[in-house]
Amino acid sequence: MSSLLQIDGLRKRFGQRLLLDIDHLQIDAGAAYVLTGANGAGKSTLLRVLCGLEPAEVGRLVFMGESLRLSPYPRAMREAIAYVHQHPVMFSTSVADNIAYGLKGRGLSREDIRSRVDEAIAWAGIDHLRGSPPATLSGGEKQRVALARARVLRPRLLLLDEPTANLDGAAREAVIGLIPTLVHAGSSVVMACHDRDLINLPGVRRMKLREGRIEIKSA
């Protein structure tokens, strides 16, 4: 399996505190990972660094075979990496408009946008919510909309921050069921989570953040 992203010497500081001190991080193409660790270990911060929302020191970075700098955040990574927050922010329009937002920003034609949005809505099982305002959605519905909004961009790397947190029952199961299909579609997926069912999904690799460093956990 080929490497999608390699980072050497990643350091993230908050004042005098060194939160992340990662010698080497590698994410393979078409692979799924869970990122675990105690609360406050830096899981969300690491995801935010990878998607350009937090600055960090990096010694060496290779993305899709190209050596890059993390700052300013490279366009190649911005176009290929999508991040889904634990509490997704929704625009006060419709579900369909929320999913189409990123595609409009990329200048796709109206026909292409409609086709991709229709596909993403069907994938997430939310056709009945197409015209609904986000304020009326449950937590599980918002999470599926957020996943569809990310998937529609066809990212090479998808970063999910606690995708099943605060969900239970059918809502949680629906979100868990979507994860393997993202990998099958060709995306690499990194999930920061504590959910045992996500951690135990077949083929998922485990990484643990402890005292700022990454530990690779055996299955």
Give me the pLDDT at residue 216, please: 85
**Average of per-residue pLDDT values in the chain:** 93
Residue 1 has pLDDT above 70, yes or no: no
Question: CA 94 → CA 120, 134, 136, 195, distances in Å?
Answer: 14, 6, 10, 30
- Global pTM exceeds 0.85: yes
For the chain, the structural domain boundaries read: 3-217
Give me the pLDDT at residue 150, please: 95
Q: For residue 219, what pLDDT band results from cuts at 50, 70 and 90?
A: low
Question: What is the tens place of the pLDDT at every residue in 98-120?
Answer: 999 999 989 999 999 999 999 99
Residue 25 has pLDDT above 90, yes or no: yes
Question: What is the tens place of the pLDDT at every residue in 66-94?
Answer: 999 999 999 999 999 999 998 898 999 99
Query: To which residue do tokens 């090479």 refer?
Result: 156
Strands of 81-84's sheet, edge to edge? Answer: 81-84, 157-161, 188-192, 32-36, 205-210, 213-217
Question: What is the tens place of the pLDDT at every residue in 115-140?
Answer: 999 999 999 999 999 999 999 999 99
Give me the pLDDT at residue 147, please: 95
Q: Exposure of 130 by Cβ count < 10 A (0-12 exposed, 13-18 middle, 19+ buried)?
A: middle
Distance CA 27, CA 13 (A): 22
Q: Exposure of 203 by Cβ count < 10 A (0-12 exposed, 13-18 middle, 19+ buried)?
A: exposed
Running DSSP on this structure, what letter comes out for residue 57?
A: B
Give me the pLDDT at residue 167, please: 87
Residue 164 has pLDDT above 80, yes or no: yes
Instruction: Give mean pLDDT, residues 158-164.
Output: 95
Percent of the chain with pLDDT over 70: 99
> In this structure, are residues 42 and 212 in contact, taking their beta carbons and an 8 Å threshold?
yes
Has domain 3-217 been given CATH number 3.40.50.300? yes
